[in-house]
């Protein structure tokens, strides 16, 4: 992998397609385009997956709840893509059992919900991770002893998948780079350039690290900036109305012991009946999400005390004997859904009613904008968007010869190359011992495999060459210093935050959000990247500010 700095130096003067935004949507597009043999470059103003794509509920799912609003095509598309992504990234996309408790007086009877489960499995052509089943109240009590039993009629169990959204995005980008694409983080598009006819003809990119500028000519420019969509549209020209109606969703993280769930448990909020989940996450459990209109600047959203209390209220309603307190909340995260403003919306449509479907829009100046959609459907959205760009290139007479078909459904992401057919994570963890005859516990090896897939073997080689890298990043935790090296050398990390939030999940999982280790991480990154003392300090300060924003709700106490 070229480093981020090397990639900046190698930015081509001209490409077929320039992509703005390095979330999952942009990542999917650059991968699709690179695999078709197009000259493509992606620019991300912050880190890869800095926006919504590291702040989701981390599920690859069909969206069972959309059956209620008869959005069958959305569910069909999502469950089909769930299958594809499970095959592309089996190390990152893992089956997860969801328990759906049904109580007396529920809006939908147990019979109706079970029928919905059949429909859900049917839309997946019965290729769900596992077929659903229905537990009787006694079985629920055995499997989820802390869940409210009073009035419980039964609980269907169905299957979707959990993932690491930021790493899914990153691996998609790495695959694009390995196939000839260019993707640069910390590179903001400051302006669009236009030709004499007023058509968008390229982008002006700023290297956020040193302020230098580059102009890149492009035959097609794609705006894949999620919640920032309207900002880029504004660069394209003044607009009377906004394309998006962004809504905010937050999650809270607690110790597993404080909320020990074996399944992802589906909860209906006691006040507004919205669906949320309590999700098992190794040594932690997280609860989410909310859905509230947001009007501020993207990137500045945070969980308020009201948001946190809302999630705690739902949790305590369903797990009454295990009362969660505000002090149990280790961390929070908050993200914006880049939802398309419905045409018929007069402002009274509830947030959760706004469709999750994506849209591709072509401006009068030729700017292609893609917005909406889901993490789950990113690959298909990306294909559709590149198909649109190719149609435009064809009309312009700029369609390159000898394009390949791409077939992004077929090729595994980098961590899945060589992955065992039987999806045995432990088998790969054992292989690590062969590569690195060093003192790595099974827990750490398993963590590396779950994080990097087969690429964990490359990381193990780093440990073998340099044993001090075996040291934990945070004393007592499983992440090791080799992950910092790997993040910089192989995964484009360029700030402390990139490592703590998106290459590892220390930000979310550690009680102190890794603050006790930021100096150590920054010292190592300074050596690897060649930071000055000021740059090192700036990176530490930025990370501390990010942690402070995630804890801002406490100021309201
Ligand atoms: P983003 O990830 O936000 O990426 C856009 C990027 O553009 C950003 O990184 C930003 O920095 C960059 N950018 C902006 N301006 C510029 C510029 N001028 N120059 C360069 N770069 C720029 N979907 C699921 O399938 N499963 C889920 O469980 C799920 N849960 C969700 C939970 C919540 C709370 C939310 C908010 C969403 C959830 N979603 C889920 C939806 C999913 O996360 C989003 O649809 C998806 O991540 C959007 O990706 P994106 O690439 O379009 O946007």
- Convert the pLDDT of each residue in 35-82 to its tens digit: 999 999 999 999 999 999 999 999 999 988 888 888 898 899 999 999
What is the predicted pLDDT for the residue at 71? 86
pLDDT greater than 90 at residue 356: no
**Mean of the per-residue pLDDT values of the chain:** 95
Of the candidates 314, 17, 321, 36, which has an alpha carbon nearest to the alpha carbon of residue 182? 17
Query: Which residues have C-beta within 8 Å of that of residue 86, sequence separation ≥ 6?
Result: 60, 93, 95, 129, 161
Q: In whole angstroms, what is the distance from residue 374 CA to residue 380 CA?
A: 10
Query: Which residues have C-beta within 8 Å of that of residue 468, sequence separation ≥ 6?
Result: 481
Residue 457 near residue 435, CB atoms below 8 Å: yes
What is the predicted pLDDT for the residue at 486? 98
pLDDT greater than 80 at residue 232: yes
What is the predicted pLDDT for the residue at 50? 98
Q: Which residues pair with 255 in a beta bridge?
A: 284
Place of tokens 């060589």: 418
What is the predicted pLDDT for the residue at 345? 66
Q: How confident is the model at residue 159 (pLDDT cuts 50, 70, 90)?
A: very high
- Report residue 127 as tokens: 């290729």
Task: Give the residue, out of 18, 19, 21, 302, with the most ligand 1 atoms within 8 A of its beta carbon, to mutate for a pocket test.
Answer: 21
250-259 pLDDT, tens digit per residue, is 999 999 999 9
Q: Which residue has the higher pLDDT, 346 or 83?
A: 83
Distances (CA, A) of 204 to 17, 83, 540: 14, 38, 29
- Report residue 485 as tokens: 């090296």
Q: How confident is the model at residue 343 (pLDDT cuts 50, 70, 90)?
A: confident
- Report residue 332 as tokens: 């929070």
What is the predicted pLDDT for the residue at 34? 98
pTM over 0.95: yes
Q: Kindly give the number of the ligand 1 atom that is closest to the alpha carbon of 249.
A: 34
Distances (CA, A) of 235 to 22, 46, 200: 18, 19, 11
Mean local confidence (pLDDT), 334-362: 85
Q: In whole angstroms, what is the distance from residue 338 CA to residue 229 CA?
A: 8
Q: Kindly give the number of the ligand 1 atom that is closest to the alpha carbon of 232.
A: 18
Q: What's the angle, vertex CA 215, arms to CA 214 and CA 216, rounded to 5?
A: 115
Strands (DSSP E) found in 290-439? 292-293, 331-337, 358-362, 368-372
3-state secondary structure of 39: coil
Chain centre distance of CA 332: 15
Chain centre distance of CA 26: 12
Mean local confidence (pLDDT), 540-545: 98
Ligand 1 contacts (CB < 6 A) are 20-26, 43-46, 50-53, 55-59, 61, 188-189, 224-228, 249, 289, 335-338, 373-376
- Atom 41 in ligand 1: residue holding the nearest Cα: 374
Q: Which residue has the higher pLDDT, 356 or 225?
A: 225
pLDDT greater than 90 at residue 84: yes
392-415 pLDDT, tens digit per residue, is 999 999 999 889 988 999 999 999
The rounded Å distance from CA 27 to ligand 1 centre is 11
Q: In whole angstroms, what is the distance from residue 128 CA to residue 122 CA?
A: 9
What is the predicted pLDDT for the residue at 349? 84
Q: How confident is the model at residue 88 (pLDDT cuts 50, 70, 90)?
A: very high
- Atom 9 in ligand 1: residue holding the nearest Cα: 51
Q: Which residue has the higher pLDDT, 348 or 118?
A: 118
* CA-based max dimension of the chain: 73
308-330 pLDDT, tens digit per residue, is 999 999 999 999 998 999 999 99
Query: Phi and psi (nearest 5°) for 531?
Result: -70, 150
Q: In whole angstroms, what is the distance from residue 91 CA to residue 338 CA?
A: 27
What is the predicted pLDDT for the residue at 299? 96
Q: Which residues pair with 96 in a beta bridge?
A: 160
Query: Phi and psi (nearest 5°) for 445?
Result: -60, -40
Task: Give the residue, out of 23, 233, 334, with the most ligand 1 atoms within 8 A of its beta carbon, to mutate for a pocket test.
Answer: 23
Q: Kindly give the number of the ligand 1 atom that is closest to the alpha carbon of 377.
A: 25
Q: Kindly give the number of the ligand 1 atom that is closest to the alpha carbon of 189.
A: 19
């Amino acid at each position: 992998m070229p480093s981020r700095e090397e990639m900046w130096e190698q930015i081509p003067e001209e490409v077929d397609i320039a992509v703005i935004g390095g979330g999952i949507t942009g990542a999917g597009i650059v991968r699709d385009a690179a695999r078709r043999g197009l000259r493509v470059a992606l620019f991300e103003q912050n880190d890869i997956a800095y926006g919504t794509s590291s702040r989701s509920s981390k599920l690859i799912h069909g969206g069972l709840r959309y059956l209620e609003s008869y959005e069958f095509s959305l569910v069909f598309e999502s469950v089909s893509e769930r299958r594809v992504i499970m095959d592309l990234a089996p190390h990152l996309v893992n089956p997860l059992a969801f328990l759906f408790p049904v109580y007396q007086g529920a809006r939908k009877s147990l019979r109706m919900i079970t029928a919905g489960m059949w429909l859900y499995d049917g839309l997946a052509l019965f290729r769900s991770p596992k077929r659903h089943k229905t537990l009787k109240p006694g079985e629920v009590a055995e499997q989820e002893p802390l869940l409210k039993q009073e009035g419980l009629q039964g609980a269907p169990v169905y299957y979707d998948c959990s993932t690491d959204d930021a790493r899914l995005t990153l691996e998609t980008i790495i695959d694009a780079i390995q196939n000839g694409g260019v993707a640069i983080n910390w590179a903001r598009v400051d302006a669009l350039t236009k030709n004499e006819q007023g058509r968008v003809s390229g982008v002006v990119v700023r290297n956020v690290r040193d302020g230098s500028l580059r102009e890149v000519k492009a035959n097609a420019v794609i705006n894949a900036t999620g919640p920032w969509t309207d900002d880029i549209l504004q660069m394209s020209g003044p607009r009377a109305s906004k394309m998006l109606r962004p809504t905010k969703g937050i999650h809270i993280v607690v110790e597993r012991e404080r909320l020990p769930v074996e399944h992802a448990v589906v909860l209906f909020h006691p006040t507004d009946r919205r669906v949320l989940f309590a999700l098992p996450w190794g040594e932690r459990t997280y609860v989410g999400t909310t859905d509230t209109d947001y009007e501020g600047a993207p990137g500045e959203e945070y969980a308020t005390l009201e948001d946190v209390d809302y999630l705690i209220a739902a949790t305590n309603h369903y797990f009454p004997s295990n009362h969660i307190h505000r002090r149990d909340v280790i961390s929070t995260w908050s993200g914006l859904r880049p939802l398309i403003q419905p045409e018929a919306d007069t402002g009274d449509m509830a947030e959760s009613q706004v469709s999750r479907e994506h849209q591709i829009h072509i401006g009068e100046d030729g700017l292609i904008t893609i917005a909406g959609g889901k993490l789950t459907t990113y690959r298909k959205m990306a294909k559709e968007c590149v198909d649109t760009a190719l149609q435009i290139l064809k009309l312009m007479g700029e369609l390159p010869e000898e394009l390949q078909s791409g077939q992004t459904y077929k090729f595994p992401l980098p961590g899945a190359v060589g992955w065992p057919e039987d999806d045995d994570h432990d088998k790969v963890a054992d292989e690590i011992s062969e590569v690195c005859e060093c003192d790595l516990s099974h827990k750490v090896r398993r963590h590396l495999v779950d994080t990097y897939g087969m690429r964990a073997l490359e990381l193990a080689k780093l440990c073998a060459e340099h044993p001090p890298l075996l040291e934990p990043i945070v004393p007592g935790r499983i992440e090791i210093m080799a992950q910092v090296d790997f993040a910089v050398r192989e995964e484009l990390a360029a700030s402390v935050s990139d490592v703590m939030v998106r290459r590892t999940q220390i930000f979310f999982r550690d009680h102190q959000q890794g603050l006790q280790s930021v100096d150590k991480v920054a010292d190592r990154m300074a050596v690897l990247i060649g930071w000055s003392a000021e740059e090192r300090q700036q990176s530490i300060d930025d990370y501390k500010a990010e942690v402070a924003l995630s804890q801002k709700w406490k100021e309201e106490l």
